[in-house]
Amino acid sequence: MSLNKTDKERVKAFWSKVAGKADAIGAESLARLIVVYPQTKTYFAHWKDVSPNSPNVTKHGKTVMGGVANAVDKIDDLKGGLLELSELHAFTLRVDPANFKLLTHCILVVLAAQFPADFTPEVHVAMDKFLAAVARALAEKYR
């Protein structure tokens, strides 16, 4: 289920429409992850305030979405382009890769809610494939 030419074109085209709101999308996605899948809070035990609108969550959502934006740029070689990030997730953060799927779902929900007209089924499948490919690249160094 790798990205073909059409997928990449669709991802880049859609991303150019939403990139301006990336920070807000990131914050919203992370907030939803924590509310809808409370078990993900275990990764943020070091924050006193893990509520959805807390400054930590907002800031971290921005960081994560920045990673996604970077991945769009590296779409032709995600494994190579995300190598360092993979090492970070594998050796330092050690986030169970199952959680990548949960965050992907939350990102897609936010995109649908904020860009209903643009988030067509065709864009949806391209973005889903892309985020799955990003997740795979991030999990590359785990074992």
Helix (H, G, I), strand (E, B) or coil at 51: coil
Query: Judged by CB, which is closer to another protein: 37, or 142?
Result: 37
For helices 22-36 and 55-73, what crossing angle results, to 10°? 120
Cα separation, 133 vs 130, whole angstroms = 5
Query: Judged by CB, which is closer to another protein: 90, or 112?
Result: 112
Query: Judged by CB, which is closer to another protein: 83, or 102?
Result: 102
Nearest-Å Rg of the Cα atoms of the chain is: 15
Shortest Å distance, C-beta 23 to another protein: 16
Shortest Å distance, C-beta 32 to another protein: 5
Shortest Å distance, C-beta 34 to another protein: 8
User: Cα–chain-centroid distance for residue 73?
Assistant: 14
Query: Judged by CB, which is closer to another protein: 94, or 101?
Result: 101
Query: Judged by CB, which is closer to another protein: 21, or 79?
Result: 21
Shortest Å distance, C-beta 62 to another protein: 17
Cα separation, 7 vs 60, whole angstroms = 28
Chain residues binding another protein by CB under 8 A are: 31-32, 35-36, 52, 105, 108-110, 112-114, 116, 119, 121-122, 124-125, 128
Shortest Å distance, C-beta 24 to another protein: 11
Cα separation, 71 vs 48, whole angstroms = 30
Cα separation, 47 vs 57, whole angstroms = 9
